[in-house]
Amino acid sequence: MTLLHHIGRYTLLIKRAFARPEKHSIYYSRLIREMEVLGINSTGIVAIISFFMGAVITIQTAYNTESPLLPTYLIGLAARDSILLEFSSTIVALILAGKVGSNIASEIGTMRITEQIDALEIMGVNSAGYLILPKIIALMIFAPFLSVLSMMIGIFGGWIAGTAVGVVTTPDYIYGIQYAFIPYYITYSLIKSVVFAFIITTVSSYHGYFTRGGALEVGRSSTMAVVHSSVVILLFNLILTQLLLS
Amino acid sequence: MIEVRNINKSFDDQQILHDISVGFEQGKTNLIIGKSGSGKTVLLKCIVGLLGVDSGDIFYSGQCFTTMGNKKKKQMRQKFGMLFQGAALFDSLSVEENVRFKLDMFTTMSNAEKKERVNFCLTRVNLEGKNKLYPSELSGGMKKRVAIARAIVLNPRYLFCDEPNSGLDPQTAIMIDKLIKDITDDFNMTTIVNTHDLNSVMEIGEKVVFIHEGRKWWEGINKEVFDTQNRELNDFVFATRLVKQIRNTDESR
Ligand SMILES: Nc1ncnc2c1ncn2[C@@H]1O[C@H](COP(=O)(O)OP(=O)(O)OP(=O)(O)O)[C@@H](O)[C@H]1O
Ligand SMILES: [Mg+2]
């Protein structure tokens, strides 16, 4: 199938997902559930990865800038900017694409092959809206929180590692992370995380929704969901960086 | 009344349904019978619009369903009840939530009313007290019965059942057949049942359509099924030794 075919079918599906809900209260309770499944259940992995990435970024920066001419507070500054600009939005989005994307695609794909989606349609329910919309909204609401969480834990991890290894002192690190701070970087990062949340949920739902066949194809859809979400995230990362930082 | 006019359906280049025209009458249990793979499920899915047809039309009480707009189609479907061959229960919902789904979605009933209605439907399929179980905790036959309860919860005008009693023991199968017949009579519904169970044919086949290799091969009522000269239908009906014996004893009498 051509790329154009996929884009067309994807657009139609997402348009259907945003149709007027049959009953708001049901969509609302689904939204709450999805926030838990997609959002809260991802905080653990985001926290752990952020901690270690923050630690590694700090130590690497320290060893790469080992020069008597450079003040050590630059370590804090460099670590902060890497975390704010790229790590807590893009890398976290890629991690979520793996965790949430495969979860969404396999859930919706299984519903497709066991005719649960047909059962919804036959009841007169808009299956795209009922299944996909709450996921999109839930992750778009939750992604900025995950992003902020990741920033805080990343910077914290950098501090722990930097001081433990002895490449930077606490006052220098703290001075560094405050030095020449540009608040817009946070806005930039949050905007990216919301866009990435939309990409992850819609691309994965698309792959799940159009699964054909059996259990094997569900597995394949789930892999495709992760791969395609990741590629689209990287593409949009480039576009957004150019748009927002230039 | 559901009218099917000249429908054709193919997958890729393999034609599954060939020019089928048939009427299904209101207030009656209409049976579609045929061998495994003959196209019963595909026909039923075309009738309810889950599969698009290549050509031909389907009319519900005179309204053309095939060309109907999406919004009207959705409204029409709220009057449908359908039982899928594999039950198609929602895995993430309990038995009670599955049955209650349409009530939540389309009615303004109070919780107490919903509960009463759910329990009533579960009792009709002999599943009282199983409200809190999840589909993964049910046997195949129990899933089927929950699916029937879910299909009838809003008293549909049109009921579609794809093999309602395959995988059930004879006693439960008869009970389900009787249930389908009863609610069809009670609410004057148009019911279409796919089956290859001859017992069902005898019990509830007020109108029987025999599908063979994607073509309508024969049409009539249950009594006639055993007297027909149609060779394919004969082969289908008298496939088992038991039925052959019944015929032979009938003839020798
Ligand atoms: N989605 C599909 N894609 C391609 N071919 C299909 C599809 N669905 C059904 N078929 C084919 O259509 C034919 C009829 O299938 P159908 O499911 O209607 O049989 P059936 O009469 O319901 O059989 P059973 O009694 O075993 O349920 C089969 O040959 C099947 O391979
Ligand atoms: Mg079938």
**φ, ψ dihedrals at B161, nearest 5°:** -125, 120
Determine the pLDDT at residue B84.
Answer: 93
Is the pLDDT at A154 greater than 80? The verdict is yes
For range A71-87, the mean pLDDT: 89
CB pairs under 8 A between A and B: 51
User: What ipTM describes this predicted complex?
Assistant: 0.90
* Per-residue model confidence as pLDDT tens digits over A45-54: 999 999 999 9
Q: Is residue A117 part of a domain?
A: yes
Quickly state the pLDDT bin for A218 (edges 50, 70, 90): very high
Chain B nearest CA to A111, separation (Å): 8
Q: Is residue A240 part of a domain?
A: yes
Q: Specify the higher pLDDT residue, B244 or B32.
A: B32
Q: Give residues (CB < 6 A) around ligand 1.
A: B 11, 16, 34, 36-42, 85, 196
* Per-residue model confidence as pLDDT tens digits over A137-150: 999 999 999 999 99
Is the pLDDT at B244 greater than 90? The verdict is no
Is the pLDDT at B253 greater than 70? The verdict is no
Instruction: Tell me the residue type at B213.
Output: E
Q: Is residue A54 part of a domain?
A: yes
Give the number of domains in chain A.
1
Q: Is residue A11 part of a domain?
A: no
Tokens 């051509």 label which residue? A2
For residue B33, give the ligand nearest its CA.
Answer: 1
Quickly state the pLDDT bin for A25 (edges 50, 70, 90): very high
Pick from A23, A118, A122: CB nearest B105:
A23
Give the structural domain span for A208. 24-245
Comparing CA positions, the residue from A57, A216, A64, A199 lying closest to residue A139 is: A199
Q: Which residues contact B199 (CB under 8 A, 6 or more apart)?
A: B170, B173, B174, B177
| CATH assignment, B2-79+157-252 | 3.40.50.300
Pick from A26, A116, A124: CB nearest B75:
A124
What's the pTM? 0.91
Is the pLDDT at B227 greater than 90? The verdict is no
Quickly state the pLDDT bin for A10 (edges 50, 70, 90): very high
Pick from A110, A116, A124: CB nearest B74:
A124
CA of B171 to the centre of ligand 2 (A): 22
* Per-residue model confidence as pLDDT tens digits over B197-206: 888 888 898 9
Q: Is residue A14 part of a domain?
A: no
Boundaries of every domain in chain B: 2-79+157-252, 89-155
Mean pLDDT, rounded, of chain A: 93
Q: Decide the pairing of beta strands B190-195 and B55-60.
A: unpaired
Q: Is residue A128 part of a domain?
A: yes
For range B188-212, the mean pLDDT: 91
**DSSP for residue A20:** P
Mean pLDDT, rounded, of chain B: 91
Q: Round to whole Å and give the CA distance between B213 and B89.
A: 30
Q: Round to whole Å and give the CA distance between A83 and A173.
A: 14
Q: Is residue A7 part of a domain?
A: no
Q: Answer whether B76 touches A (CB < 8 Å).
A: yes
**Hey, CA dihedral for A44, A50, A56, A58, is it positive or negative?**
negative
Q: Round to whole Å and give the CA distance between B109 and A138.
A: 28
